[in-house]
A and B are shown apart, each in its own frame.
Chain A
Amino acid sequence: MAQPRPLGVIPLGDSAAYVEFSSHLDLEVNSVVQRLALAILKRKIAWIRDVVPALGGLALHFHLDHAELPAKPLEESLALVLENLKGLSSKQEPGRVIELPVCYEGEFALDLEEVAKKAGVPPADVTHRHVSGEYRVLMMGFSPGHAYMGGLDAKLAVPRRTSPRAIVPAGSVAIANEQTVVYPYAISGGWNVIGRTPMVLFDAARPRPSLLWPGDRVRFRAITREKFVEMAAAQ
């Protein structure tokens, strides 16, 4: 496949630039976006405070009061992306591999039955398909530590719930469309909850506060309720 090219650069006001590669989700494009984001981060450019890889492109947030901020940061951002695109290694997947333990049982799997019904497979098949996949963190957002992961079995691609839950418990593992997420905080949400992890997804007291980072590869491992309780207590 030819290397993706940016569709253009979109100003997020005068504070940031969004270099868009695709207006729809394309895993190949996202992989390039992830590697680009890491390459630009590595440059430690003083006038760029945040590099945010998203589903279809990446945002560069400017340090507006920095002496080195160029006169035309939007144009400089695009130039920076094009320059790094050229030297981008075609090596696959820079991310780490993370394994997340998940209990797919009972009250943790709030929507498992419904997902199974919609997908036309038995509930055990839903969890089997979910643990069999390898996922990649395509983008993070919504709340700190909240990773949108691609790579879900097409058979499990069910739509979001018609009415969102007021509170989805922290650690809930959920699916919708062709993605899976883990909710780091108890928060309102509309994804279909099929299990729960005892791991703490985001803890500001850790030097690396987030368990998952953009570009990481993620696998899920089924655990029993006993194991869940034991691991949750150890966190």
Chain B
Amino acid sequence: MSIKVLRPGLLTTIQDHGRHGFQRVGLCPGGAMDPVALALANALVGNPPDEAALEVTVIGPELLFERDTLVAVCGAEFDGFPHNRPVFAAAGTRFNVGRAARGARAYIAVAGGFAVEPVLGSRSTYLPGHFGGFQGRALKHGDVLPLRDSAAAKRFATLRKTHDGTVKWSVPPGTLPDREPILVHVIEGQHFASFDSNSQRAFFDTVWRVAPDSNRMGFRLSGPPLGRPQADEILSGPTCLGSVQVPPSGVPIALMADHQTTGGYPRIAEIASADVARLAQLAPGGKVHFAKCSLEIAGELRKHAREHIESALRGIAWEYHK
């Protein structure tokens, strides 16, 4: 009743929609960097959208399925691998996920989900605190991941007879970049006006690159240093997923899933919530360009993103029940 990890990949962790309600004691929600891909992968195997799945980073794992089950991979795409559709994995199947050809993070959902205990209401792995997910850490060679039972796996047992174990339909990918630089919408941050006019312009004119020392806490952005004419200290205050803060080095940092909940650096911008998942699909070296938008437009983008997910979920439900 389990999956054996033959090769862990670069950074493979169990993630769901995160643990909420603890930001006031300094614990960020965490969870999947690309919750859209997580929701789709789950729906494809008959799970609730916020079930825990494996978050794969750039280089995927090699997994051995020790029983018949249904699997789906959404988000980043890997060559020679069926994406965005349910795949029947018979007992003894080896799943070798190589290097991402497009995107940076994929979600491997398994029918029934992983049988790990929730911590503070979530199965997400919080690496800095060493808790949640599988033993509070990234997967290692030899780990055996327990699975829960699922009726959905049986629904597609007929896929066993097909030559590749999958269906002919798929859901459209929601968050993968067609080309780079990707366009990410932001509203001005609280301290935008305190940056000098060159920095204000440069923020929107520059094609930024995701720096190699980026991680689940934050993406450092390589480009021209940004400055403030009066480099006064600002009072530490709350931050948010998608806040772009600028420490004295002038290198902007976009706060990602495992971000600190408060910060004392000026915030030049706040990324529209719908675009954070798209930014999460950039690997180090990936290019991003920021465009200013209003709060209303950010809300519209969110609405469109949700409509995309809902229509995909309806399509999947239809395939399951026809």
Contact = CB atoms under 8 A, between A and B. Distances in A.
- A and B: partners? yes
Interface of A: 10-16, 18, 20, 22-25, 37, 49-59, 61, 63-65, 74, 139-148, 185, 202, 204-205, 209-210, 212-214
A65 B270 CA distance: 19
A125 B272 CA distance: 51
Contacts of A23: 234-235
B57 interface: no
A15 B128 contact: no
Nearest to B136: A204
B238 A54 contact: yes
Given A49-B21, A52-B23, 16 more contacts: A12-B240, A16-B238, A18-B237, A37-B24, A49-B20, A50-B20, A52-B24, A52-B238, A55-B235, A143-B129, A145-B25, A202-B25, A202-B26, A212-B25, A213-B24, A213-B25
A56 B235 contact: yes
B129 A13 contact: no
Nearest to A209: B120
A72 to B, nearest CB: 9
Contacts of B167: none
A140 B128 contact: no
Contact of B24 (A57, A63, A143, A214): A214
Given A52-B261, A65-B306, A144-B129, A13 B237 contact: no
Interface of B: 20-27, 29, 119-120, 126, 128-129, 131-132, 186-187, 190, 234-243, 260-263, 270-273, 295, 298-299, 302, 306
Contacts of B261: 52, 140-141
B27 A10 contact: no
Given A49-B20, A139-B236, A144-B27, A14 B260 contact: no
A171 B160 CA distance: 55
Given A24-B235, A56-B235, A13 B242 contact: yes
Contact of A18 (B126, B187, B238): B238
